Amino acid sequence: MAGWPNLSDLMVGAGEDAPVGLIGAPLGTGSVTPGRCDQAPRRLRETLRRIGLYDVETGRELASRIADHGDVELPGLTIEQATAPIRDAIAASAALHALTLLVGGNNAVTRPAVLGLGGALPSVGLITLDAHFDMRDLDGGLSNGNPVSALIADGLPGANIAQLGLASFANSEAMHRGALAAGNRVVTMADIRRDGIDTAVGQALDHVAHCSAVVVDCDIDVIDRSQLPGAPGARPGGMAVSDFFAAVRRLASDPRVRVMDLTEWDPPLDPTDLSALTAARWVAECLAGYELR
Ligand SMILES: [Mn+2]
């Protein structure tokens, strides 16, 4: 792809006018499985030059500029300590850009992303593409396994939460019951295989139809492990990567979607560049969806 127009050509400085913003949140502390997902923002930026701009499926070339706000400074911070700086970075970006791409870091970055949209939780929706409910209990403090529980405790109603891609033998009965009791829309991998990804995404958007702003959490462990080895939680039997890309594009096309995050990518887990190329194409799918608005 050397010499071809590519995603890196769309990156501009934080002070420049752009419809899309990008923030890195290299949060690695507090993970249930310790790892190096703090390396993901840097690796993603390095890989953007390998993703072209022209989409043969639509005959269109991506053109939306992305203002890079750099990484939130988080060295050594706990999730509790990192929450306010990430929240504030999201709020600042949302004031400037129609869509903000938040590159984690572990899945704990999703809570400050939701809080950054003004804190009016009854009007904010959350759609997760995730193998897990992220509904672990809060007794031991915040982790990458409980951002959804924490948001519900903050006051986010389950009527505003849709969860797509839940995997068998990767969640507890208590989490499943908790999600249903809260009123979350729960769509499992078998549902998606039976009904198709378009139906699943439509169900999620219907569930949050009353919300004025929406955060989409893309925990890439939702993708089948054979197609995304670089996430500690990814397992066989996960979402086809083509379905993941289609879901991301369609969700990004909804103007109410103000933040899309990419979490749980741990680059050293994948010695090939498969996971990096998948993460970088996520940026292209977000832009392609945005340009359908
Ligand atoms: Mn997760």
Domains of the chain are 7-290 (3.40.800.10)
| Ligand 1 midpoint to CA 144 (Å) | 7
Enter the pTM of the model.
0.97
**C-alpha 134 – ligand 1 centre gap (Å):** 5
Q: Output the CA 245–ligand 1 centroid distance in Å.
A: 17
Measured in Å, residue 272 CA sits from the centre of ligand 1 at 23
> 15: buried, middle or exposed (CB in 10 Å: 19+, 13-18, 0-12)?
exposed
pLDDT, position 198: 98
Q: What is the mean pLDDT of each run of 10 residues along the chain (293 residues)?
A: 85 96 95 92 98 97 98 95 98 97 97 90 94 96 96 96 98 97 98 98 98 98 98 97 98 98 98 98 98 98
Query: Ligand 1 mean position to 33 CA, how many Å?
Result: 12
Give distance in angstroms: CA of 90 to centre of ligand 1. Answer: 19
Position 224 scores a pLDDT of: 98
Give the residue among 193, 122, 191 at the shortest CA–CA distance from 151. Answer: 122
| pLDDT of the residue at 2 | 55
Q: Identify the pLDDT of residue 34.
A: 87
For residue 166, the CA-to-ligand 1 centroid distance in Å is: 10
Say if residue 239 is exposed, middle or buried (CB neighbours under 10 Å; 0-12, 13-18, 19+): buried
Cα(106) to centroid(ligand 1), Å: 8
Q: Which amino acid is at 246?
A: A
Distance 163 CA to ligand 1 centre (A): 10
pLDDT value of position 24: 98
- For 240, how many CA atoms within 13 A lie in the half-sphere containing its CB? 8
Q: How far is the CA of 133 from the centre of ligand 1 (A)?
A: 7
